[in-house]
Amino acid sequence: MYGKSIKINRWLIPLSWLYGLGTGIRNKLFDWGILPAEEFDIPVISVGNLAVGGTGKTPHIEYLIELLQHKYRVAVLSRGYKRKSRGFVLADASSTARDIGDEPYQIKRKFPDIAVAVDANRRRGIKRLKELLPDLDVVLLDDAFQHRYVSPLTSIVLTDYNRALHLDKLLPAGRLRESRHELSRADIVIVTKCPADMKPIEYNIISRWLHLFPYQHLYFTTLDYGKLQAVFPEKCTPRELDLNELPAQAGVMTLTGIANPRPMQQYLARFCTPQEELQYPDHHHFTDNDLREIARRFQTLKGETNYLITTEKDAARLRSASLDDAVAQRLYYLPIRVRFMQYAGTSFDEKILGTIYKNRRVKHPRKPA
């Protein structure tokens, strides 16, 4: 059921009122033009959310990259949450998760030909990208709905099926960064992490609860999971593993450091029952003590063959960690990708491609390399 996991800290609601007053005033200053928002002469697509936590921004950014990369020169600009560097950084082959953040690192590793940069100041970041990449066609802004100093050509807002906006509250009582009425600034709204067997009536109910305007477009996506991939392919055999092929007597342990590991856990439950589940906060930096605890827990598994399964985002941070060899040789991540429901993927693709084509500086897409 839509929004079934909502939890509100009601004793904190008075603080949420104060927080809402501050964000409301800030948004009004932008609405009235007192605080400046800058437009750019190339298409800028913002992908963000109203709530803190995992709504699936990274897989949706990756979907957009796959859609655009063969026709346009694409750059991704992120804040680089929890990175150890400062200012503007353009990722290269030697960049690590500590340099640019785990999500930008994941994107750069998966799409090495795409420009990936981080900068907390998005205006400065876009200007630097344009200087460094004169043939740049489009910029994808990751987690930038609240960064109103940039006025995007298209604003996409994601909301988690499992946490209904109309039931949520502002921080700190709930998880909303700003009032749900600010959803009116979005051009496209996507309800993410929907169950694959969602009933037709639910689409209509959610549409009514969101109260979108006629100029806004609503889509629904679900998560598809791929085969397990070795985090260290040079050490693991096999490098790829189908969950259906897990040995019956296998010992399985899961390791997550994301906002909401529940969808992955529910999917894995179809194939196995993990003996151990280690959960850390979102974007967690694994310390030496953490790595020792992971190794200790992994050694307690009672299986003929043991496996440690993590998320793709956690794998980005674990690649640079000093893991025990016994763990590294059995460490796999579960890749995910988004799929549009109601056969609406074509409609979404055409809308994005059409908008970029009409607004790019050169009206004819470059030929694929």
Sheet with 89-90, strands from edge to edge, namely: 89-90, 115-118, 74-78, 138-142, 44-49, 154-160, 188-192, 217-225, 336-340
Q: Considering just the CA atoms, what is the radius of gyration of the chain in Å?
A: 21
Judge whether 237 lies within some domain. yes
Residue type for position 286: F
pTM, entire model:
0.92
Q: Are residues 142 and 280 in the same domain?
A: no
What is the tens place of the pLDDT at every residue in 64-105?
999 999 999 999 999 998 899 999 999 999 999 999 999 999
Q: Are residues 66 and 209 in the same domain?
A: yes
The per-residue pLDDT for 369 is 45
Q: Cα(352)–Cα(74) distance, rounded to whole angstroms?
A: 13
pLDDT exceeds cutoff 70 at 314? yes
What is the tens place of the pLDDT at every residue in 263-287?
899 899 999 999 999 999 988 889 9
The per-residue pLDDT for 132 is 97
Q: Are residues 215 and 315 in the same domain?
A: no
Which domain range does residue 209 map to? 10-224+338-359
Judge whether 1 lies within some domain. no
What is the number of domains present in the chain? 2
The per-residue pLDDT for 53 is 78
Q: Are residues 60 and 140 in the same domain?
A: yes
Q: Are residues 139 and 18 in the same domain?
A: yes
Phi, psi dihedrals of residue 339, rounded to the nearest 5°: -135, 130
Q: Are residues 300 and 247 in the same domain?
A: yes
The per-residue pLDDT for 4 is 62
Judge whether 138 lies within some domain. yes
- Mean pLDDT (whole number) for 249-262: 91
Q: Are residues 48 and 69 in the same domain?
A: yes
Q: Are residues 166 and 296 in the same domain?
A: no
